[in-house]
Amino acid sequence: MAKLFRAVLLLATLAGLPALADGTSSLIQSVPKETSLANPDLAFARDAWVDVIRHARTRLDFGEFYIAQAPGGALEPVLQELERAGARGVKVRFILSARMLDQDPAAVARLRQVPGLELRIFDLKGVSGGILHAKYFLADGREAVLGSQNFDWRSLEHIHELGVRTSDPVLVDRLQEVFEVDWRFALDKTLPPPRPPLKVQPGPAELVASPPFLSPGTVRPALEALVQLLDQATTRVQVQLLTYSPVSGRDHYWPALDNALRAAAVRGVKVQLLVSDWMYKSRGLPHLKALTLIPNVEVRVASIPEASTGHLPYARTIHSKYLLVDGKTLWLGTSNWEEDYFEASRNVEVILHQPDLVKQAGDVFGKLWSSPYVSALDPMKTYAPRKVD
């Protein structure tokens, strides 16, 4: 058995990927080309995705916001591996958000041609007005991938992203339950039974999800778990997001996370909040500036330079969504910190109390926080919105 394990480890090393032992998790990264943000200890998402799909034997289940590919783009090896999986008899179930089907009709059409693939469209418009914003997939009910990476070539080579690959049975089983709810909802808009209060069992990992009305009874609402983590912080909170705003709808104020961050700072917790320069066009910018005036709060903004090949729409940004608490806990997933992501739209997150992964995420945060791409948010400065599309 020991010889077999060493052989598997050697093969994984030769393939350029760390071996994922049963019941464990590893972080996977994406970084914009022509930047110095890669972490040498982490696998790249594009490689991990191919590896997971390649080793699927019976089924693959995807819940994705949208699909987008470009000739020669980093999603091409993933799509080819998915086509090979279908050809060898792997059953593929794929859910896409109704809101984003027009992003790349050719890629959607290509998906439909994968042998054995069944595609369903997820539409929350008539229920909550939200979207399928999650990004995850499962292989054989034994391994899962989730994180901020969309099923988009730009997410794999032109955006700062962080995800997790896991064979932890608690996370995989709960995510499989979420998928089955989504798969059924995409067919006939069936909602799961009302969720009674869930008693959380202490452990190294937990899956949480949004919105509450669409979560299985075994999965806590993400907002409840996130506020609890912030309330329990004692020394340091580090957050990286695309966007942050307590404003939603028609100037509706949603204070749940804003209050939790402010309360942490008031009791002496050091709060470091890192967002993208997409915030310069957000109605949440004044609130973000107000946070900088609170003792113990520091807000910085990341601006990733354009690629040497020219402007890419909806790219060259930081898109990771994670929280570190006291250097002991990692919350990682698919939600920006705004009301819709937690109350109306489908998102999934993991909470990990695993020292090695927490340290790696802390290294990712620190590398970006102190990089030349980041500057402090000045509450007195007027910022020009960046071209995004």
Contact between residue 339 and residue 284 where contact means Cβ atoms under 8 Å apart: no
Answer yes or no: do 162 and 208 share one domain: no
Q: Distance (Å, rounded) from C-alpha 121 to C-alpha 98?
A: 6
pTM: 0.93
End residue of a domain, out of 146, 166, 186 = 166
Asked whether residue 246 is domain-assigned, the answer is yes
Answer yes or no: do 150 and 274 share one domain: no
Answer yes or no: do 48 and 148 share one domain: yes
- Domain containing 94 — which CATH number? 3.30.870.10
Distances (CA, A) of 184 to 63, 113, 131, 242, 349: 12, 22, 16, 30, 21
Identify the pLDDT of residue 203: 86
Asked whether residue 384 is domain-assigned, the answer is no
Answer yes or no: do 354 and 301 share one domain: yes
Asked whether residue 177 is domain-assigned, the answer is no
Answer yes or no: do 259 and 325 share one domain: yes
Q: Distance (Å, rounded) from C-alpha 107 to C-alpha 132?
A: 18
Q: How many domains is the chain built from? A: 2
Q: Give the pLDDT band of residue 21 (cuts 50, 70, 90).
A: confident
Answer yes or no: do 160 and 235 share one domain: no
Q: How confident is the model over 59-94, as pLDDT tens digits? A: 999 999 999 999 999 999 999 999 999 999 999 999
Answer yes or no: do 224 and 365 share one domain: yes
User: Exposed/middle/buried for 201, CB within 10 Å: 0-12, 13-18, 19+?
Assistant: exposed
Answer yes or no: do 117 and 243 share one domain: no
Distances (CA, A) of 353 to 117, 229, 328, 350, 361: 36, 12, 6, 10, 12
Answer yes or no: do 212 and 288 share one domain: yes
Instruction: Give the domain range for residue 218.
Output: 203-376
End residue of a domain, out of 145, 166, 187 = 166
Answer yes or no: do 122 and 256 share one domain: no
Q: For residue 336, is pLDDT > 80?
A: yes
End residue of a domain, out of 114, 142, 166 = 166
Answer yes or no: do 243 and 372 share one domain: yes
* End-to-end alpha carbon distance in the chain: 53
Asked whether residue 31 is domain-assigned, the answer is yes
Q: Quick count: other Cβ atoms within 10 Å of Cβ 331? A: 23
Q: Give the pLDDT band of residue 173 (cuts 50, 70, 90).
A: very high
Distances (CA, A) of 49 to 17, 86, 137, 148: 11, 15, 9, 13
Q: How confident is the model over 187-240, as pLDDT tens digits? A: 999 999 887 777 777 789 999 999 999 989 899 999 999 999 999 999 999 999
Asked whether residue 14 is domain-assigned, the answer is no
